[in-house]
Structure 1
Amino acid sequence: MTAEATTTQTPGGLELPRPPGVVRRFLGAHPLAVDIFVAAFYLVPSVIGALVASAVDPTPQELIHLVLSAVAGAALLARRQQPAVVFAIATVLLGTSVFLGRDMDVVPTLFALYALAVYRSIRSAWVAFAVTSAVTVSTLVVEVLLAQAKAFTPLETAAVPSGILVLSFSVVAVLIGSNVGNRRRYLNALIDRARQLARERDQQAEIAAAAERSRIAREMHDIVSHSLTVMITLADGSARMAEAAADRPDPAERSAQAMRLVAETGRGALADMRRLLGVLRDGEDVSAAREPQPGVGEIGELIETFRAAGLPVRITITGLPPDDVGQQLTIFRVVQEGLTNALRYAASATAVRVVIVFGPGTVIVTIDDDAALHPSAGHGSGRGLIGLRERVGLYGGTLEAGPRPGGGWRVRAVFDAVRAAAPESTASPTAETPPAPSDPETPPTPAPSTTTKENP
């Protein structure tokens, strides 16, 4: 389908404009009919004229001219696919028609020059014009020499006017073909560019969708892994206390309290999953209740949940937390993942310490446990740590997870802090912010601009 006839919607969802004019749309939509019309436009008069001339004065020259005209007319059907071959046949007819007792037959050559300019290139059309000029001049020179030697009957039209006429029509054919060909190639380039942009748009949409799916998968892992780990631990402890509650009511009450906490944790996880998966549903009510993502302020509730599950957690927070919501969510998820792994794999731990240091330009989050046996290498899929590395990497940071030198396991995240720009009017030229401590386990005494909170 040509550029002028493109009226349908492209695969990229791009609807191209319809070309103006009913005639142009018809010609563009029926290229074979146009080729048949062009071939018949030349072939019918030529064949009829040759047949009439052969009937009046049958000679071998008339028969040869009839055959060449029929071949050239049939070749015009392939002017779009093979314009060079059509030009070669037309050039043979142009050169031999002089010596067949007729004037120069230039019509097939004109169609061939036009087809070269439109369907090949402008350069090939001008090269073909040079060949046409050479054939025309050389043929007419030979014709004049033979006519002067009385060996050939001269043409009805003189050689010089015939040559000028042929070359003039040839130039016009090349110029018209160049104009149409340039416009055609320009439109094709615009259409190709539009299709490329449409494909790039679709690819960007797919990339964005994949990134969103990855983000949702990380959130789902954090929610499900944390909640189920706490629920399983509480359920196991409740079962053990229930077995020992035959004659003592206190373990029975503790068991019931643990099961109530299991139910609350499950309901909270279910609500988080419904809210998170709501973005994946199309056509449903978008006015559902929305809650903000957890941040540093919710870490206390998170710690209490793990303490209720039997994990001996202590937390120390130094400095002012960043204002960026995304960074606060990252800090929350790092603490959540570290404590979840400790609850799952460090059952023998006697102390789990969470240290969060908010420096002037760096945030350091460390979760340590002292469990002698930490079989995390043989359990789990590792996707939680992979997701955390991606979260931390968004802020130019790193995440390390591995054994501690003195025993136990450590999860440590370090990344750049995003701070809101302070107004110039409130800035103090003499105020100094203390540097972040090099060891999170032994934080220095904070300056007045920071706060230290330790929850035993």
Structure 2
Amino acid sequence: MTEAPLSPGYPASVVGGELRLPKPPGVVRQFWARHPRLTDALIAALYFVPTFLGTLSFVFVPTGPPLWLGLAQLVAVAASAAAMLVRRSRPWLLMGVAWVVCLVVYPFGSVDLFPVLVALYALAVYRSTRAAWIAFGGSVVVGIASANLALLAQAGDTVAPFGAGAPESAVQFAILMLIATLIGVTVGNRRRYLNALIARAHDLARERDQQAQLATAVERSRIAREMHDIVSHSLTVMVTLADGSAATAERDPERAAEAMRHVAESGRTALGDMRRMLGVLAEPATLPADLSPQPGAAAIPALIGSFRAAGMPVRLTTTGAGVSDPNLQLTIYRIVQEGLTNAFRYAASATRVDVDLEHRDTEVLVTVTDDATSPSVPDLEGGGLGLVGMRERVALYGGTLEAGPRAQRGWRVSAMLHTDAGSTNDAETDR
């Protein structure tokens, strides 16, 4: 993964695709931005070569300074140039070397203030504005001390760098260092601002990908619930009717034929539901979507009738005014469908199955009970997907689900839904 041209250290691409960043203006600026080590080496060479040669020629002049002082100046030049090579990663090291050079060598020779200026710029760009101003204050103190040392050296018949008084030299030092600090602060603030923008863009792109993954997971869960409800209900009814038809085919052919007609009707209904769902998932050009609405409260009597036709003694009781929200109606329908499917599958000995729909002011209570003599544990062979799906549907409306054996015999499924909790819920939309 490559680095962003405007922001070294930040990748140019993120999860989910490339993050396109604006190109920095100018071919020359792009070249130096891609080769930071070459830039530092050239800056160090531009300082080291002329300063080292000038100091070297000054050392061997007969009237020049003592040999030890000349060697000290050459060492100071070499140390300053070496510290410039790491000005990006260790600007305080360059600053410390520059201060030592100013205090120890500068008052007695021709070593200039270029390392101090470079260090102030590096601190402002690669550290912080606060660090730059702290270094500027320290550099002013060092400059004043160096100017006073120069006066002492001048008094001792040693040529001082500027050949002027301490105040004038200190003012010159301060002006040069202030210019370098201001330039560094301007460049550093712009660099940090661009880095913040690029980092924010990466965060937004990563958040976009995470939101897409969450939306995909939610949609997969919704499709899994719908598929389970459609397939589980239809296949359960079809398998049971087919088994009953096979058992009564010889002694009661008419009843067997009626059962098979119910099998065919259940199959057609399941195919219709599947076609509607696949039409929503498929591309418009490949498979047209069925625009008929999902089943709601009005389809519950027909659902009850299909179970009665299959031989289940089920009774529907409805109290209160019905809900108008189609999403909530679909949730109620699926809960009733799952409860009856489980009773049909596991409560074959039941003599009565009751479906109670109680509509209150802000709540809907859906209850499915049976009186089977044997324990009816729903959907264990299917991994409990039916109960899990019901819990997810109920949770969308801030409700509760209770499923378990009754005190005497049979099984009870009770779901409490809040009618106002799903007003802004888009998880179950009409398809």
TM-score (structure 1 length as normaliser):
0.83
- The one of 23, 26, 31 equivalent to 1:21 is 26
Quickly say closer, same or farther: Cα 1:211–1:259, change in 2 above 3 A: same
Letter in 2 for 1:321: G
Corresponding residue for residue 94 of structure 1: 102
Native 8 Å contact 1:3 1:187 kept in 2: no
* Displacement after TM superposition at 1:273 (Å): 2.6
Of 31, 34, 37, which residue of structure 1 is paired with 2:36? 31
TM-aligned CA deviation for residue 119 of structure 1? 0.5
Matched, 1:42 2:43: no
Cα distance, 1:295 vs structure 2: 0.7
Correspondence for 1:80: 88
Match of 1:126 in 2: 133
1:399 partnered with 2:422: no
Q: What is the distance in 2 between the residues matched to 1:316 and 1:114?
A: 83
* CA–CA separation in structure 1 for the residues paired with 2:214 and 2:158: 77
Residue 164 of structure 2 is aligned to residue 158 of structure 1: yes
> 2 CA distance for matches of 1:127 and 1:336?
74
Query: Which shifted more, 309-318 or 286-295?
Result: 286-295
8 Å CA contact 1:2–1:28 kept in 2: the answer is no
Question: Could you report, residue by residue, the CA deviation over 1:143-172 in whole angstroms, capped at 9, with x for unpaired residues?
Answer: 323433x36444452243332222210111
Residue-by-residue CA offset, 1:277-333 (whole Å, 9 max, x unaligned): 444446852533333111111112212221222211121223332111011101111
2:273 is the alignment partner of 1:272: yes
Secondary structure of 2:13's match?
coil
Aligned residues: 412
Q: CA deviation at 1:183?
A: 1.4
Matches within 5 A, 1:261-410: 261-281=262-282, 285=286, 287-376=288-377, 379-410=381-412
SS, match of residue 351 in structure 2: coil
Paired residue for 1:431? Answer: none
1:113 Cα deviation (Å)? 0.7
The structural deviation recorded for 1:136 is 2.0
Equivalent-residue separation in structure 2 for 1:114 and 1:326 (angstroms): 64
1:139 and 1:227 mapped to 2: Cα distance? 94
The question of 1:67 aligning with 2:75 is answered yes
Query: How far off is 1:111 after superposition?
Result: 0.2
d(CA) in 1 for partners of 2:284, 2:27: 42
CA distance in 2, matches of 1:387, 1:110: 69
Q: How many angstroms does 1:338 deviate by?
A: 1.0
1: CA distance, partners of 2:388 / 2:162: 91
Alignment equivalent of 1:144, drawn from 140, 143, 151: 151
How far residue 190 of structure 1 moved from its aligned partner, in angstroms, is: 1.8
Tell me the SS of whatever aligns to 1:337. Answer: helix
CA distance in 2, matches of 1:98, 1:347: 103
1:198-219 per-position Cα deviation (integer Å, ceiling 9, x unaligned): 2122211111111111111111
Query: Is the CA contact 1:4–1:24 (under 8 Å) kept in the aligned structure 2?
Result: no
Match of 2:139, SS state, is helix
Q: How does 1:437-448 map to 2 (within 5 A)?
A: none
Partner of 2:237: 230
Q: Is the 8 A contact 1:3 1:184 kept in 2?
A: no
Q: Distance in 2 between matches of 1:321 and 1:202?
A: 40
Give the secondary-structure state (helix, strand or coil) at the position aligned to 1:223. Answer: helix
Task: Return the offset for 1:263.
Answer: 2.9
Deviation for aligned residue 1:375:
3.4
Of residues 134-143 and 270-279 in structure 1, the stretch that sits farther from structure 2 once superposed is 270-279
Change in Cα spacing, 1:124 to 1:361, as seen in structure 2 (3 Å) is: closer
**Percent identity between the two aligned chains:** 50
Aligned equivalents of 2:46, 2:159: Cα separation in 1: 29
- TM-score normalised over the length of structure 2: 0.87
CA distance in 2, matches of 1:376, 1:253: 33
Of 89-98 and 12-21, deviating more is 12-21
The CA distance in 1 between the partners of 2:228 and 2:243, in whole Å, is 22
Q: CA deviation at 1:80?
A: 0.5
SS in 2 for 1:129: helix
Alignment correspondent of 1:217: 224
SS at match of 1:412: strand
Rounded to whole Å, the distance in 1 between the matches of 2:302 and 2:59 is 108
CA distance in 1, matches of 2:364, 2:4: 61
Shift of 1:138: 1.8
Contact 2:125/2:189 (CA < 8 Å) preserved in 1? yes
Structure 2: gaps spanning 5 or more residues: 424-431
Offset at residue 227 of structure 1 (A): 0.9
Which letter does structure 2 place at the counterpart of 1:101? G
Q: 1:123 to 1:3 in 2, by over 3 A?
A: farther
Deviation at 1:5, TM superposition (A): 5.4
Residues 315/60 of structure 1: CA separation in 2 closer, same or farther (3 Å cut): same
Amino acid at match of 2:402: E
> Does the 8 Å CA contact 1:5/1:28 hold for their aligned counterparts?
no
Q: After the TM superposition, which residues 253-264 of structure 1 pair with which residues of structure 2 at under 5 Å, given as runs?
A: 253-264=254-265
**What is the Cα deviation at residue 345 of structure 1?**
0.8
Distance 2:92 2:406 in 1: 78
Distance (Å, rounded) in 2 between the aligned partners of 1:374 and 1:68: 93
**Which whole-Å CA distance do the structure 2 matches of 1:317 and 1:193 have between them?**
55
